[in-house]
């Protein structure tokens, strides 16, 4: 049985993305692939686009992968490793179905 609890909301700072950056083919594909569930954030001299579709808990708010774009418009695919133990999967499963 589900145990309702208050929702903990988060607000993440969304970066402004120029039309020139939005026109990069990889960025357009990434937005399409993620069904527009994308969060662009400035991180130093890099603009990183996070796929938010699987941000299910506080540990995974920014998702598992994304794209980084440097000032000279080089694009890098990113993977954001997370520590996923069997216990975390078991706890999540229990949270949903018990």
Q: Are 85 and 92 in contact (CB under 8 A)?
A: no
Cα dihedral value 49, 52, 39, 13, nearest 10? -130
Which residue would you say has higher pLDDT here, 66 or 83? 66
Query: pLDDT tens for residues 52-68?
Result: 887 655 556 667 788 99
Q: What count of Cα atoms within 13 Å lies in the side-chain half-sphere of residue 25?
A: 0
pLDDT at 28: 94
Beta strands across the sheet bearing 65-70: 38-43, 46-51, 65-70, 75-79
CA-based torsion, 9, 10, 16, 22: positive or negative: negative
Average pLDDT, the chain: 80
């Amino acid at each position: 049985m589900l145990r309702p609890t208050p929702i903990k909301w988060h607000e993440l700072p969304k970066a402004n993305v120029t039309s020139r950056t939005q026109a990069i083919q990889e960025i357009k594909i990434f937005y399409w692939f993620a069904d527009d569930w994308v969060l662009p954030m400035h991180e130093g001299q890099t603009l990183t686009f996070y796929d938010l579709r699987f941000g299910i808990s506080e540990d995974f708010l920014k998702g598992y992968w994304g794209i980084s774009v440097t000032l000279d418009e080089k694009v890098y695919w990113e993977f954001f490793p997370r520590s996923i133990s069997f216990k975390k999967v078991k706890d999540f499963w229990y949270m949903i179905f018990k």
